[in-house]
Amino acid sequence: MCGIAGFINFINNNNHKEDLNTLNLMINSLSHRGPDNTNVWTSQNKTAYIAHSRLSIIDLSNQANQPMISQNKQYVLSFNGEIYNFIELKTELEKIKNINFKTSSDTEVLLELISEYGFETAIKKITGMFALCLWDNLNNTLHLARDRIGEKPIYYCNNNNSFIFASEIKAILSNELFNKEINLNNLNQYFKYGYLLKSNSIFKNIYKLDPGAFITY
C-alpha cells in the first residue's frame, strides 16, 4: 500500500515554507504505508500541495515515484492501489497515439489514460483497488476517487477555506488548518453499533469517501 496526503490552502498561500512543513508532517505520519520513497509536489500558484509515500510493487525504479506528472503537464497524480487491467489499457493507448511510456507502472498508464479520455471516463475504464487524488493544472481542480468495493481508503475535510485529504485520519490531524473537534453524534453511534455508519468519522468535518465515489474540488 501507499500513502496519499495533501491540501488546498487559500489562507496562508503566501507562506510557502510553512505549508511545505505541514505537508511533510502529514506524509511522514503515513511512512508506514510506503517506506520506499517520499515525494512532495506543489502547484505553481502555491495553493495545491500533494505528497506520496510509496511502497514499490510493479515498477521499482525512481521514475515510477509519485506524485507523477502527465506527459502533457496537465495532470498530477498520487495513487494508492493496483490497476488489474493496466496492460490492456496501455496497449489501447499505444494504438490511439504515440506514447513513449517511461515506466512499466500502472500509475503512468492511469495518468495517460486520464490525459486521453478525461477523468470520469478513465475512472470507468479501470478495474482494480485504489484511492487517488488528481490535480488538474489547466482547470485548477482536484479530484478524489475510490474503488468500487472501497478496499483503499481516503478521507477528506473541507473547512476554513482549505480542503485537506489523506489515506488516514492521522495525517489530517497533522495539519494545523484542521480544527480538532469530536463529533458527539458519531461518537454515540460508535458506542451503539461498534462502528461508524456510511462516510462518518469520529471528528467533525472529516469524512471517508464512499466506495465507487469521486468528488471534485
Reference 210, options 164, 157, 159, 144; nearest CA is: 144
Cell of 70: 502527465
Mean pLDDT of the 160-173 span = 92
The conformation of residue 85, written as its DSSP 8-state character, comes to: T
C-alpha cell at 150: 472501497
Collapsing DSSP states into helix, strand and coil, what is residue 100? coil
* HEC string for 118-163: CHHHHHHHCCEEEEEEEEECCCCEEEEEECCCCCCCCEEEEECCEE
| pTM for this prediction | 0.92
Q: Which of 177, 131, 130 is nearest to 157 (CA)?
A: 177
**Closest C-alpha among 56, 62, 214 to residue 146:** 214
31: number of Cβ within 10 Å: 11
Summarised one tens digit per residue, pLDDT across range 16-30 is 888 899 999 999 999
| Residue whose C-alpha is closest to residue 188's, from 199, 197, 198, 177 | 197
> pLDDT class for 48, splitting at 50, 70, 90?
very high
| d(C-alpha 33, C-alpha 79), whole Å | 12
Residue 205: left if φ>0, alpha if ψ -120 to 50, beta else—which one? left
pLDDT, mean of residues 27-52: 92
- Between CA 105 and CA 109 the distance in angstroms is 7
Looking at residue 166, its pLDDT comes to 97
Annotated catalytic residue within 2, 50, 131, 206: 2
SS3 letters across 2-63: CEEEEEEECCCCCCHHHHHHHHHHHHHCCHHHCCCEEEEEECCCCCEEEEEEECCCCCCCHH
d(CA 68, CA 75): 8
Q: Report the interhelical angle of 106-117 vs 86-96 (nearest 10°).
A: 50
Task: Say yes or no to pLDDT of 60 above 80.
Answer: no
pLDDT tens-place string over residues 191-206: 999 988 888 899 999 9
**Residue 12: predicted pLDDT:** 58
Grid coordinates representing 186? Answer: 458519531
Residue 2 annotated in active site: yes
